[in-house]
Amino acid sequence: MTDPRILSYTDKLWARPEDTVTVFASGEGVESMSVGLVRLICGDDSPNGPGYREEETVVAEQTADLVSQAVHAGSFIVADNSSALSALTSFTLDITIWPTTPVNHEQAVMGVWDAERQAGYLLSIGPEGAALTTGDGSGSVSRTATKGLMTPREWYRVTASYDAATGQVNVSQDPCNVDGRGETARQASGTHKTGPTLRGDIPFLVGAAWGGQGNADGIRPVMCFNGKVEAPRVAGTVADALSATDCLLAWDLSRSIKSLSVEDVSGDACHGHTVNLPTRAVTGSNWTSDQHDWRHAQDEYGAIHLHDDDLGDAGWSPSAEVKLPDDLKSGVYCIRLSGGGAEDMPPVVVQPGRDAPKNAIAFLASTATYQIYANMHHSTDDAGAEMRSASATILSRDDLYLFEHRELGHSPYDTHSDDSGVSVASARRPMLGYRPKAGVWSFNADTHLTAWLDDEGFAWDAISDHALHDEGLELLAPYKVVVTGAHPEYWSTDMWQAMTAYLKSGGRLMYMGGNGFYWRIAFHEEAPWALEIRRAQAGARYWIAEPGEYHMAFSGELGGLWQRIGIAPQQLVGIGTVATGFDSCSHFERLPDSFHPRAQWIFDGVGANEKIGDFGQLGGASGLELDWVDRSLGTPDHCLRLASSADHSTQYLQTLDTMTFNHTAVAAPVNPAVRADMVFFETPEGGAVWSTGSIAWSTSLAWNGYDNNVARITGNVLRRFADAQPVPAP
């Protein structure tokens, strides 16, 4: 018997007082749940941490029934109106495909096929090559297959026709790019005794078959296809060749790439839409490599990459609604769902009301980064996981659950079942890992900072990445200082531009981590709960985008590292990623710049020779991922390098994107580049930036009851930055 579990997600990752947050939940062995709201102080419940803490709120607890709600993963394309396609008697199907797992099992390519009743018509591929199946729902099925195995990651034009008058069937698979392997076209013919008979409510699908009613756009997809599809066409007659005008449906997948829609160019307006966020802006069969930006050669990007484990909106029925009080204090909250010995706590960043008074300090919750890390299968799927951490992997309950339940989708740190990279992350699904009590990384590491802010008596507001992307400078402008979390890794262009404008107008920024502002992401215009990344060119990557596919579908922008598009983190915060290591953490040592009159106030109460942060939950304040000064990448000339870390283990290596050639001297301690730099510099209009350079910094704040030099330095900076008095220019 499995342990009871509550899975959930919400319609909002951030909200304001008076907003209503809708909860979508599913119970496994749990029939009802209590629903409450808590203000999260510290989400880390690990033995060496500062201690898990929360505050009850005045929101009345409610009780809600729970049922088990299924997740139906697998991306596909569905016709908006399938009636004419369901009524076909004779037909021709034509499509170009790039299968990635063609021999694993039978996969639906296109058709109107009721897999439960075995009725309709289906063009599929599998161990028998391309095949056409027809059925009438009585249990009688006819099938014709080419008997030719397909080569993974090669283009084929696949066609099938059926003549209702004679039962004659023709199926063909023609390789598009003959390259000397001797692969030839294959055809098969036959006579089907059983023709296609359908109910009128079965949809026309590309990349899946109808498996019954489900939560993915009302469809339970089965026989899901892995690979690219291009130029699906359907005619109501038997034909050797099809032009768009001959067809009832002719989808040009190079159109409307940024949207969820697909356009029909047959003239019959048989348009469609994608489900479960397949990957768009991918190279087609005619890609020449002359152009790598799909916006400049759109006709060469007329394909969509479908995956059997894609997941967009899980589509669950609402389980409860939580109305936020109009006087709710800003902060990081969790909706507590509990019952039957199970608990789930989806977080919600509660921002101040638009017209409400603002505190001087804003904590910027890295909600984009939290979302991208959610549902990561690194511990179970990555063969190098133990080598990276130099320790045995300890699997959590969530790790095991995700390993067994692939339908919950993946993180962009994973690869799909066909080994292609996961480029899209959805917030409309249960996000394991993005929860309190789920390890000291990203979200829970940031609650070390929020706990310190509360315990030290700072008045602060919480704001979020998602709101920053939506509202820009308007969100930041009321604050004297913005404080980041430990790992603000994923930023959109709108976020970057807003922060740049904030600093130019006199704002102050405390960058409390490492490996920040590293990857460029995009939000989907029609589904803003979805994020996209293309792991292009360089960087610490768990997969590499295909050639020609570095530009994001959601925005058209070049993906990859911000540094690689000419806007390095050094330009924003003075430092950028240089090294990583995960076995241990170390400390900082003061440098001459820390005694400069412009910055010596930062070290009030700290001795000249003190080791800074040689303590903490992780053993030190410098570790995991480290940032350094690099004036060639934009570190301001007047930036002061206050301190640097020392004594890192040999597991710490310089990152590949900061080197021109890999060699044996990339590890600490022989490599002087393997270090974190703490920096300070002034910005226009009385603003300033202070950066720690280390993900581990905040995990040392609570040591010795906050009586330590990490907390003292952080407090010195925050008090000065929150003060209305301008920071003098050098």
Q: What is the pLDDT of residues 357-411, one digit of tens each?
A: 999 999 999 999 999 999 999 888 877 777 776 777 787 888 888 899 999 999 9
Q: What's the average model confidence in pLDDT over 410-436? A: 96
Q: What's the average model confidence in pLDDT over 170-179? A: 85
CA–CA separation, 403 vs 538, rounded Å? 28
Q: What's the average model confidence in pLDDT over 28-49? A: 94
Is a pLDDT exceeding 80 seen at residue 668?
no
What pLDDT score was predicted for residue 79?
97
Q: What's the average model confidence in pLDDT over 463-487? A: 98
Output DSSP code: residue 403. Answer: H
Q: Angle CA(306)–CA(310)–CA(316) in degrees, nearest 5?
A: 130
User: What percentage of the chain exceeds 70 in pLDDT?
Assistant: 99
N-term to C-term CA, the chain: 67
Residue 540 — pLDDT band, cuts 50, 70, 90?
Answer: confident
Q: Which of 189-193, 424-428, 503-507, 537-541 has the lowest mean pLDDT?
A: 537-541
Domains and CATH numbers, the chain: 5-70+317-357 (2.60.40.1930), 76-306 (2.60.120.200)
Residue 669 — pLDDT band, cuts 50, 70, 90?
Answer: confident
For residue 466, what is the enclosing H or E element? Answer: helix 465-471
CA–CA separation, 459 vs 453, rounded Å? 8
What pLDDT score was predicted for residue 182?
59
Taking only the tens place, the pLDDT of each residue in 70-121 is 999 999 999 999 999 999 999 999 999 999 999 889 999 999 999 999 999 9
Q: pTM of the full predicted structure? A: 0.96
What pLDDT score was predicted for residue 47?
86
HSE-CB for 613 with a 13 A CA cutoff: 35
User: What percentage of the chain exceeds 90 in pLDDT?
Assistant: 85
What pLDDT score was predicted for residue 178?
58
What pLDDT score was predicted for residue 288?
95
What pLDDT score was predicted for residue 179?
58
What pLDDT score was predicted for residue 662?
77
Q: Which of 178-182, 470-474, 511-515 has the lowest mean pLDDT?
A: 178-182
Is a pLDDT exceeding 90 seen at residue 198?
no
Write down the mean pLDDT value for the chain: 94
Distances (CA, A) of 612 to 514, 515, 578, 641, 651: 17, 20, 20, 15, 21
Is a pLDDT exceeding 90 seen at residue 667?
no
Is a pLDDT exceeding 90 seen at residue 658?
no
Q: 710 and 717 in contact (C-beta within 8 Å)?
A: no
What pLDDT score was predicted for residue 71?
97
The string of DSSP letters for 202-250 reads: PPPEES-EEEEEEEETTEEEES---EEEEEEEEESS--SS--GGG-SEE
What pLDDT score was predicted for residue 181?
60
Q: What's the average model confidence in pLDDT over 522-549? A: 93
What pLDDT score was predicted for residue 576?
97
Q: 373 and 62 in contact (C-beta within 8 Å)?
A: no
Residue 199 — pLDDT band, cuts 50, 70, 90?
Answer: confident
Q: Which of 15-24, 389-398, 644-653 has the lowest mean pLDDT?
A: 389-398
Is a pLDDT exceeding 80 seen at residue 2?
no
Q: Which residue has the higher pLDDT, 539 or 234?
A: 234
